[in-house]
Amino acid sequence: MLYQQLAFVFVIQSIPSVYGQSCPSFWKTIASDLSSNFLENGECNGRARQAIRFGFHDAFAWTAQAGGGADGSLLLNPEEITREENSNMQDYHTFLTDKRTSYQNQYGQIGAADLIQFAAQVAVRTCPGGPRVKTVIGRIDSSTAGPTGQLNRGFGDTATQAAILANWQSKGFSAKDVAALLGSHTVSRATISQPQGIPTDGQQDATPGRWDTEYFKDTLNPPQNVWPLESDKNCAVKGTEVGDWFQSFIDNAGAWDVAYTDAAYRLSLVGVSNDFSAGFIDCTDALPAGASAKMIRSAPVNGRAR
C-alpha cells in the first residue's frame, strides 16, 4: 500500500495528522514548490486552472461497471491525455510528469493519483480566497485508461441540466454538489475558442485570478468580457434542482466554501472505496497557508447552512 511505503521511507520528519498517522514532511515541500508555479502577480494563473481541471478529469472518468476514477491514469496512460476533452491539458501533463520525476528522485515513490489530486487542492488553496480541501494520500495508481464519455460538454446535447445532473448522480453527487463544484469556474478561462462567441482565454467571471462568488452572479448577468458556458447557464436557472443551490451561493462565500470543500474531497476519491480510503494519510496541513488565510471554521454562522 502506497501510504505504507511513504511512511517507511520518511519517518524522521512528519506533519501531525488528526487521524493518528503522520503525513511525510516532504509533501509540504512539494506544496510550496507547486504553489510557486500556480501564482503570478498575486493571482492564480493558467497552470493553477489546469491543475484543478486535471484533478477533475482524472477522477471523473469512472463508472461502477468500468472502474477508473482518481487513479492517476490521466498522467500514466498515453491514450487518455490525447482524448478531445483532455488534449488541451498536454502542457500541464508534461509539467506534472516532470515534477513527479523530480520529486521521486528526491523523496522516493510518489503516486501519480495522489500527486494529481494534491496538486489540484494546492492550486485551489493558492488562489486568493481559495478554501482548504481535505487532502489525503494513499491511492493506488493505474495505467489503464478511464472509461470514455464521462465528461459533459459545455455546449450541446450533454450541456443540459438534466444530462449533467444525471451524470453526477450516477457517481454519487447531489444537485448541491454540482452547483458548488461548478463554482470552480470562478477561475476558469476557455483554453480554445468555443461556440456562442467565446474566445480563446475567455473568462467565466470578472475576477478569474481570484476564488470568489463573482462567478455565480456573472453567470446570470455577465458583464462585458465575461462569457458563461451554456452548461453553466443551464444549471443556474431558478426553480430547478441545481439552479436553486447555484443561486443560494451568490454573495454567500461561507455556504459555498462548506459545500465546495465537502464535494471536492469526495470528488478526489471517486472510485476509491470508503473502507480503503479510511486508511489514507491526511496531508491537509501540508497545503499552503492560503493567500487569504481563510479557514472554513471562520465562515459566518449564517453562511454555513442555507
Q: Which residues are catalytic?
A: 57
Q: Are 200 and 190 in contact (CB under 8 A)?
A: yes
From residue 1, give the alpha-carbon distance in Å to each of 14, 137, 276.
Answer: 18, 11, 10
- Contact at 8 Å (CB) between 246 and 236? yes
- Residue 199 DSSP label: P
**DSSP structural state of residue 205:** S
Annotated binding site: 58, 69, 71, 73, 185-186, 205, 207, 212
Euclidean distance between the first and the last CA atom of the chain, given in angstroms as a whole number: 40
Binding-site annotation, residues for Ca(2+) = 58, 69, 71, 73, 186, 205, 207, 212
8 Å CB contact between 176 and 245: yes
Helix axes 90-107, 112-126, angle to 10 degrees: 110
Q: What is the torsional sign of CA 239, 240, 241, 247? A: negative
Q: Annotated binding residues for heme b, as ranges?
A: 185
Tally Cβ neighbours within 10 Å of residue 12. 7
Answer yes or no: are the C-beta atoms of 80 and 61 closer than 8 Å.
yes
Nearest residue to 187 (alpha-carbon basis) of 238, 241, 247, 124: 124
Dihedral through CA 98, CA 104, CA 106, CA 108, nearest 10? 180
CA distance 242 to 234: 9
